[in-house]
Amino acid sequence: MDSQCRVAVDIGGTFTDIVLLSDDGRAATRKVPSTPGNYADGVIDGVTRLLTDLGRASESVVDLLHACTVATNAILEHKGARTALITTKGFRDILTMRRIRVPRLYDPMFVKPEPLVPRNLCLEVEERLDHKGQVIRPLSRPDVHTAIARICAADVQAVAVMFLHSYANPAHEREVGAMLAEALPDHFISLSVDVLPELREYERASTTVINAYVGPPVKSYLDSLRAQLSRAGIPARLQVMLSSGGILDCQAVTRWPAQIVESGPAAGVIGAARLGRLAGYQNLITLDMGGTTAKASIIENSQISMTDEYEVGGAVSLSAELTKGGGYPLRIPAIDISEVGAGGGSLVWLDPAKAIKVGPASAGAVPGPACYDTGNDEPTVTDANVVLGYLNQSALAGGTVPLRPERSYRAIETKIAAPLGRGLMETAYGVHTIADANMMHAVKTVTTYRGRDPRDFDLFAFGGNGGVHAVSLARLLQIRRVLIPPAAGVFSAVGLLFANVEATATQAILAKTAELSLTRLEQGYRQLELRVAELMGYPADHVRYVRLMDMRYGGQASELVVAVPAGPITADALKAVEDRFELEHERRRGHRLTGNYGFELVNLRVRGVVDSTGASARPGPAAFTGTASGKAEAVRAAYFGPTIGALKTPVLPGRHGLQGAARAGPLIVEDYDGTTVVPPDCHARLDAIGNIVIDLGGAP
Amino acid sequence: MTEHGPATNQPDPFLLELIRSSFDAIADQMALIMLRTAHSGIVRDTMDYSTALCDAKGRTLAQGVTNPVHLGSFYDAMQCVLRRFDGDFNGGDVFIFNDPYEAAGQHLPDIYIVKPIFFAGQLVAFATTVAHHSDVGGMVPGSNAIGSTEIFQEGLRLPILKFLERGVPVQPIWDIIRLNVRVPDDVMGDLQAQMAACTICEREVEELYRRYGGDTLGAYVEHLHDYAEQLARSQIAAIPDGVYEFSDHLDGLGENPEPIALHVKITVRGSNVVVDWTGTSPQVPGGVNAPLPFTKAAAYAALRSVMSAAVPNCHGYTRPITVVAPLGSLVNVKYPGPCGIKGITGYRMIDCLFGALAKAVPDKVAADNSGGATLPTIAGYENGKAFVFCETVAGNWGAAFDHDGQDGVAHMGANQTNIPIEMIEARFPVRIEQYGIITDTGGPGTFRGGLSVIREYRLVRGEALLMVRSDKRAFPPHGLFGGHEGAPSFNIVNPETDPVVLPVMTTEPYSIKQGDVFRHIMAGGGGFGEPLSRDPARVVQDVIEERITIAGAERDYGVVIVGNPPLVDQELTRRLRQRRGISCNAVSIDAS
């Protein structure tokens, strides 16, 4: 009988990435085209073929770990369920009014995103609570019946319910929930008290509506995938990655589907955290550079960095908190990832005053860079990298994507270099540098904007283009060490293998810490712990709990999440939380507040964690080392800036060539799924796990 | 570390882009720090503040993504700072000011905090912030007096003062401010947030200078201004040469409002623009007068909005723009005229400029909007402590040449947000009873204007004073190219029980007591193009979404809707539209 294995599947717009890890710690990877009609087809096809190639029986797969874009696509393409919203009388337009701000200054032609619920399906019922949860006006059941009648007449599949101040008293929402469950047993019902029992009505409404809107398509996709897995004889337990970096059983995800919107990007960061720790690096900046965008996040003391709000479908931007209004707010714990429009396919252009711009428009994977010769003549970042000699001059991805480098030369020369009156190489190098500068902002958003100094971190770069830009970007940030993990081109799928089962629950409090009852806090946390365990589908005593507080100075509007010392809540523990808050406030925001403002506790928060498997079923040090390609080392010219110029550069056919002593740059490593550029005055070596480790020399 | 050579007359385009985006990142980071640390609702929730990085000559290099009308006026204020303290800048100094006459401020609630930044002993830049504070004293809570007749009634006047001297607080200034404002915790908290943003800016600028060196950065600061100017000129040159004029009005002040006229003449010649306000009303005995820096800022913001390229928000882009405003007029107030609520005149100036620009670039501006954020204020005492609830309420935009007006958006001049209702009710004795849009209020047109916004407040405890700064009742938002005007605005107390209509601008605070309701309705946006040319499919969709009624569809658009679900009666519609005698061909938007 076969040994058991775990399979991770990450679906992207173009490719579905698959990684299989057997319990002897060996991994195999596969990239297959995604199947947008029904993504499950591509998953089953890819997994089956990989199993066949490895000569494995389908019964040997015990876990299928999954990241998918089905929820994101439903929102971006407006193809979610037809959804109704039931809300407090006087507030049906909450999804239209939003938070008013527009994401760009000086744009009178801006058009707001269409609400996910049309105005005629935003239904009001009489009821009202105050901020303490006291009933100002009782719930009108006749109004609820009228709303249900309209829902029945309107071919609706999902219903969201959001009443003002329900976080302080869930009774009215629960009553409506029960009436809906009885009258509409086949509809997907989403109550704001279940999804997000926190203050701020618009963010709560938006999150609840998104949950309802993606509920039916996520359920139908996961049901279909499970059915097809079962037909294919794969008995695996299906678990799905959340935006927070945890995984949950597909049944739990079906109940709270808004959690999986950012599942793919989260998986990469989880992989970086765990592989980094395995290799002995605890402070990392992760950079995932693909075809269209680059995403950055930080890992500090092996801990990922979380945010609790982001916008789905908002413009890719540097300062997301300042540029809200372009997408759909989702207030659910997510890994703090910043994204900029700088990928291999990002278009290079000149503005009317002849300044060079890179992105955010992208040629994507189709038609792709000019050198793909598939219909795009405009230069891209990849074309600049071809001109510089960084990329293979005949084909990418191990020969599967043929290139015509002369098209890159022509595009850069005619569209950029000639109009500027500058040399071809100098121009291509400038484009490469501006792409780095754009990515530097993504990194700054998660470091200096949060009071972290990038120089205290190593850069962990993956994605198809991560290795091409990592060292030059590190130099801009004065980072001294770069890591390029194995399987960098399918690294998000690798990350899935490292995830723990996780869930989070919150409860609004809104009180000064000086006025809090410790007993009430302890009770609040106990209740949240029970809810988290229930959400995860585990007995309460199997779960490890992390208690957190959302805290701010009295009078502020913006909280920081602070960990509570382990053990029952005591006065000392509360004092410790205040101290931690002040420390973090000073670090992130540049000062401690003077004056008698006190501390405000806004939410209690509990994160539950269950280690998904024993360590044995995680990738071991030798998982990705594979075998050498057998090809010989080559040489080509690569250009490293006006001061250094072009150098004859050894090209290694795969990272095995780095085994043994460290090698000095210039050097180019061409792996199957990505290229790594090692400039002069840097040294590259391979560590025990298969990471390429590059030490930057020279002046910082 | 840079591999680019030292700056010459011709900038390296790559280095220029690197430096420009570094400046932008710093200004945005300052804005984020303020957002996260501010205290008052109007700063932290409404986001009525701005941040900028200025060069050593006080010229803006980059601004955070906040309020256009704040930042365009920084230059004049910084010139005052440079004149007053030239040679007396030290590391750790922080300056504070607000006065329009002594310091080229905007109005007293807008307090500036400015910090000089040094590198290698040289003054290289200024971190600058301005925030609208909840209260700076004066005759009404919130310091937004409409009925003031001289600046002395409007609150505490601060000339340019050192707030910190070499890092040490100048305690008397702190004490004076604390004593003269109604809500000192909010004000002192917000001032600390402004200083925190400046500290972050200083740290980042020093880092940038260490990286590129003083000579290179000094040269590239000039290159950046030149580049912005060049880009702005390319955009202005694309506007057809000509003289474009427009007139509009503020409804007026108090119970018997007299219209206050604005008139603008925009002259475009090649790559230069002159904005001339001659013909605008003399200054009035009320807080609506605007200081000149603010008038300039409004012109810069409006013109920047019709430039399609991503022009850097630095001082250089304003060089092709000349602003003429007669001293002693509504748009260039003379000492000691009041200017506490000049914001509304700023909005009206931008609207007026858009009205004129519509004749030149009809595809780049929308029809008139609801007139910019209003400022309902409810203030009183609870348990012996003053409270000031003051928020900006935003309305809608007019229709554009290819889409309907937007509902629930900030005015172009001030990209502010709303305050969550649940936050308001947790903090003030106020309950919001309604917040949304009203059917049949958008100006009809081939494309319809945005709908009127309604926000209704109830005082749930005690007594309070109510003030409101609104507009657009006598002069509702205009349409463009055959589009109709939107519905007028309305302020009414106790509409269901004992209605009292309040003026658009209350020169005297109105007393309210527990249970009283204030219904605040903003104007509907103007339409674009002839309403009878509106696609009937859009009309029926509006009926389905209850944005217009069936009666409104027939009255305003000549579209007959029947049945449930609603459908267009094609034949009756054709006949009705024919009878009204206007062709249904697509409307022309030529300026001629």
Which CATH number covers residue A597? Answer: 3.30.1490
B443 vs B433: CA distance, rounded Å:
26
| B47 chain-A contacts, CB cut-off 8 A | 101
* Residue B547: φ, ψ to 5°: -85, -30
Residues A468 and A291 sit within 8 Å (Cβ to Cβ): no
Nearest C-alpha of chain B: how many angstroms from A439?
11
Across all residues in chain A, what is the average pLDDT? 90
Nearest C-alpha of chain A: how many angstroms from B134?
13
Which B residues, 225 through 254, put their C-beta within 8 Å of a C-beta on chain A? Answer: 227, 230-231, 234-235
Across all residues in chain B, what is the average pLDDT? 92
Nearest C-alpha of chain A: how many angstroms from B149?
33
Q: Which pLDDT value is given to residue B584? A: 44
Instruction: Kindly determine whether residue A590 and residue B423, on different chains, have CB atoms separated by under 8 Å.
Output: no
Name residues whose C-beta falls within 8 Å of residue A36's C-beta, 6 or more positions apart in sequence: none
Instruction: Kindly determine whether residue B45 and residue A557, on different chains, have CB atoms separated by under 8 Å.
Output: yes
Q: What is the CA radius of gyration of chain A?
A: 26
Asked whether residue A10 falls in the same domain as residue A93, the answer is no
Asked whether residue A132 falls in the same domain as residue A21, the answer is no
Q: Across the interface, which of B12, B36, B68 has its CB nearest the CB of A106?
A: B68
Q: Which pLDDT value is given to residue A629? A: 60
Q: Is B438 on the interface with A (CB under 8 A)?
A: no
Give residue A448's pLDDT band: very low, low, confident or very high (50, 70, 90): confident
Which B residues, 318 through 377, put their C-beta within 8 Å of a C-beta on chain A? Answer: 354, 364-366
A694 vs A479: CA distance, rounded Å:
11
What are the structure tokens assigned to A659, written together?
Answer: 């085994």
Of the listed ranges A104-108, B562-566, B575-579, the least confidently predicted one is: A104-108
Name residues whose C-beta falls within 8 Å of residue A4's C-beta, 6 or more positions apart in sequence: A22, A23, A60, A61, A62, A617
Instruction: Kindly determine whether residue A136 and residue B431, on different chains, have CB atoms separated by under 8 Å.
Output: yes
What are the structure tokens assigned to B125, written together?
Answer: 């830049």
Q: Which pLDDT value is given to residue B311? A: 87
- The pLDDT of B115-128, averaged and rounded, is 96
Q: Across the interface, which of B188, B415, B426 has its CB nearest the CB of A102?
A: B415
Instruction: Kindly determine whether residue B410 and residue A101, on different chains, have CB atoms separated by under 8 Å.
Output: yes
Give residue B64's pLDDT band: very low, low, confident or very high (50, 70, 90): confident
pLDDT (tens digit per residue) in A28-57: 888 888 888 889 999 999 999 999 999 999
Q: Which pLDDT value is given to residue A616? A: 44
Contacts 24+ apart (CB under 8 A), A531-535: A531/A505, A531/A606, A532/A503, A532/A504, A532/A505, A532/A606, A532/A607, A532/A608, A533/A608, A535/A248, A535/A252, A535/A255, A535/A256, A535/A503, A535/A505, A535/A608
Asked whether residue A543 falls in the same domain as residue A579, the answer is yes
Q: How many A-B residue pairs are in contact by the CB < 8 A criterion?
A: 236
Of the listed ranges A243-247, B197-201, B588-592, the least confidently predicted one is: B588-592
Q: Which pLDDT value is given to residue B247? A: 97
**Last residue of some domain: A541, A576, A611?**
A611
A470 vs A482: CA distance, rounded Å:
7
Q: Which pLDDT value is given to residue B238? A: 93
* Three-state SS letters, B348-359: HHHHHHHHHHCC
| B230 chain-A contacts, CB cut-off 8 A | 353
Nearest C-alpha of chain B: how many angstroms from A512?
13
Nearest C-alpha of chain B: how many angstroms from A534?
29
When scoring A82, A85, A88, A109 by the number of chain B Cβ atoms within 10 A, the one with the most, hence best to mutate, is: A109
Instruction: Kindly determine whether residue A589 and residue B33, on different chains, have CB atoms separated by under 8 Å.
Output: yes
Q: Which pLDDT value is given to residue A186? A: 95
pLDDT (tens digit per residue) in B135-151: 999 999 999 899 999 99
Beta bridge partners of residue B129, listed in sequence order: B51, B113
**Is residue A351 situated within a structural domain?**
yes
Select from A8, A445, A443, A465 the least CA-distant residue to A263. A8
Q: What is the CA radius of gyration of chain B?
A: 25
Q: Is B195 on the interface with A (CB under 8 A)?
A: yes
Asked whether residue A521 falls in the same domain as residue A570, the answer is yes
Q: Is B407 on the interface with A (CB under 8 A)?
A: yes
| B191 chain-A contacts, CB cut-off 8 A | none
Give residue A625's pLDDT band: very low, low, confident or very high (50, 70, 90): low
Q: Which pLDDT value is given to residue B245? A: 98
Q: Which pLDDT value is given to residue A630? A: 67
| B39 chain-A contacts, CB cut-off 8 A | 553, 555-556, 597
Residues B571 and B557 sit within 8 Å (Cβ to Cβ): no
**Last residue of some domain: A404, A419, A434?**
A434
Q: Across the interface, which of A111, A441, A557 has its CB nearest the CB of B21?
A: A441
3-state secondary structure of A103: coil
pTM of the model: 0.91
When scoring B15, B17, B548 by the number of chain A Cβ atoms within 10 A, the one with the most, hence best to mutate, is: B17
Beta bridge partners of residue B268, listed in sequence order: B242, B273
B50-54, B185-189, B278-282: range with highest mean pLDDT: B278-282
Q: Is B192 on the interface with A (CB under 8 A)?
A: yes
Select from B291, B249, B271 the least CA-distant residue to B72. B291
Instruction: Kindly determine whether residue B420 and residue A199, on different chains, have CB atoms separated by under 8 Å.
Output: yes
| A97 chain-B contacts, CB cut-off 8 A | 407-408, 418, 435-437, 453
> Chain B residue closest to A124 (CA)?
B434
Nearest C-alpha of chain A: how many angstroms from B9?
15
Instruction: Kindly determine whether residue B204 and residue A448, on different chains, have CB atoms separated by under 8 Å.
Output: yes
Tallying the residues shown for chain B, one arrives at 592
| A105 chain-B contacts, CB cut-off 8 A | 65, 68, 313, 415
DSSP string, A410-446: HHHIIIIIHHHT--HHHHHHHHHHHHHHHHHHHHHHH
Instruction: Kindly determine whether residue A130 and residue B425, on different chains, have CB atoms separated by under 8 Å.
Output: yes
Q: Is the pLDDT of residue A562 over 80?
A: yes
> Chain A residue closest to B44 (CA)?
A557
Give residue A321's pLDDT band: very low, low, confident or very high (50, 70, 90): low
Asked whether residue A235 falls in the same domain as residue A198, the answer is no
Of the listed ranges A556-560, B299-303, B377-381, the least confidently predicted one is: A556-560
What are the structure tokens assigned to B86, written together?
Answer: 């030239």
- For chain A, the first-to-last Cα distance in angstroms comes to 55
| pLDDT above 70 coverage of chain A, percent | 95
Give residue A447's pLDDT band: very low, low, confident or very high (50, 70, 90): confident
Q: Which pLDDT value is given to residue A361? A: 87
Instruction: Count the Cβ atoms, other than its own, within 10 Å of residue B241.
Output: 12
Asked whether residue A164 falls in the same domain as residue A251, the answer is no
Q: Which pLDDT value is given to residue A322? A: 67
Instruction: Kindly determine whether residue A591 and residue B204, on different chains, have CB atoms separated by under 8 Å.
Output: no
Angle at A124 between CA A118 and CA A126, to 5 degrees: 175
> Chain A residue closest to B231 (CA)?
A353
| B4 chain-A contacts, CB cut-off 8 A | 642
Q: Which pLDDT value is given to residue B127? A: 97
**Is residue A296 situated within a structural domain?**
no
Q: Which pLDDT value is given to residue A527? A: 94
Name residues whose C-beta falls within 8 Å of residue A570's C-beta, 6 or more positions apart in sequence: A518
| Token pair 């944005």: residue | B547
What is the dihedral angle through the alpha carbons of A585, A591, A594, A596, rounded to the nearest 10 degrees? -20
Of the listed ranges A487-501, A532-546, A578-592, the least confidently predicted one is: A578-592
Beta bridge partners of residue A10, listed in sequence order: A17, A67
Nearest C-alpha of chain B: how many angstroms from A321?
7
Q: Is the pLDDT of residue A1 over 80?
A: no
Q: Which pLDDT value is given to residue A678? A: 97
A170 vs B115: CA distance, rounded Å:
49
| B68 chain-A contacts, CB cut-off 8 A | 105-106
Longest dimension (CA), chain B: 81
- The pLDDT of B241-260, averaged and rounded, is 96
Select from A493, A501, A563 the least CA-distant residue to A303. A563
| A509 chain-B contacts, CB cut-off 8 A | none
Nearest C-alpha of chain B: how many angstroms from A111?
7
Residues A190 and A212 sit within 8 Å (Cβ to Cβ): yes
- The pLDDT of A354-358, averaged and rounded, is 88
**Is residue A328 situated within a structural domain?**
no
Q: What is the layout of strands, in order, in the sheet containing A61-67?
A: A27-33, A15-22, A5-11, A61-67, A237-241, A247-249, A501-512, A599-610, A544-553, A560-563
Q: Is B541 on the interface with A (CB under 8 A)?
A: no
3-state secondary structure of B260: strand
* Residue B332: φ, ψ to 5°: -155, 80
Nearest C-alpha of chain B: how many angstroms from A614?
41
**Is residue A198 situated within a structural domain?**
yes
A321 vs A446: CA distance, rounded Å:
12
Which stretches of B98-225 are assigned E, i.e. beta strand?
110-119, 122-132, 161-165, 168-169
Q: Is B423 on the interface with A (CB under 8 A)?
A: yes
Asked whether residue A107 falls in the same domain as residue A135, the answer is yes
**Is residue A682 situated within a structural domain?**
no
A92 vs A123: CA distance, rounded Å:
6
Tell me the domain boundaries of chain B. Answer: 13-229, 367-529, 532-579
| B12 chain-A contacts, CB cut-off 8 A | 430
Q: Which pLDDT value is given to residue A620? A: 57
B27 vs A488: CA distance, rounded Å:
35
Q: Is B47 on the interface with A (CB under 8 A)?
A: yes
Nearest C-alpha of chain A: how many angstroms from B130?
16
Asked whether residue A425 falls in the same domain as residue A542, the answer is no
B258 vs B503: CA distance, rounded Å:
12
Instruction: Kindly determine whether residue A558 and residue B36, on different chains, have CB atoms separated by under 8 Å.
Output: yes
Asked whether residue A425 falls in the same domain as residue A395, the answer is yes
Residues A682 and A638 sit within 8 Å (Cβ to Cβ): no
Nearest C-alpha of chain B: how many angstroms from A164?
7
Domain count along chain A: 4
Give residue B2's pLDDT band: very low, low, confident or very high (50, 70, 90): very low
**Is residue A671 situated within a structural domain?**
no
**Is residue A668 situated within a structural domain?**
no
Q: In terms of pLDDT, which residue wins out, B416 or B457?
A: B457
- The pLDDT of B114-133, averaged and rounded, is 96
Which stretches of A219-271 are assigned E, i.e. beta strand?
237-241, 247-249
Name residues whose C-beta falls within 8 Å of residue B264's C-beta, 6 or more positions apart in sequence: B245, B246, B247, B275, B276, B277, B280, B349, B352, B353, B356
How many Å separate Cα A700 from the centre of its chain? 30
Q: Which pLDDT value is given to residue A307? A: 83
B302 vs A106: CA distance, rounded Å:
8
Asked whether residue A413 falls in the same domain as residue A525, the answer is no
ipTM score over 0.95, yes or no: no
Q: Which pLDDT value is given to residue A699? A: 42
- Which residue range is the domain that position A556 belongs to? 501-611
Give residue A315's pLDDT band: very low, low, confident or very high (50, 70, 90): low
**Last residue of some domain: A383, A410, A434?**
A434
Which B residues, 383 through 402, put their C-beta within 8 Å of a C-beta on chain A? Answer: 394, 397, 400
Asked whether residue A238 falls in the same domain as residue A136, the answer is no
Instruction: Count the Cβ atoms, other than its own, within 10 Å of residue A594.
Output: 10
Name residues whose C-beta falls within 8 Å of residue B364's C-beta, 6 or more positions apart in sequence: A108, A109, B305, B306, B308, B357
Q: Across the interface, which of B39, B192, B304 has its CB nearest the CB of A106?
A: B304
**Is residue A350 situated within a structural domain?**
yes
Q: Is B16 on the interface with A (CB under 8 A)?
A: yes
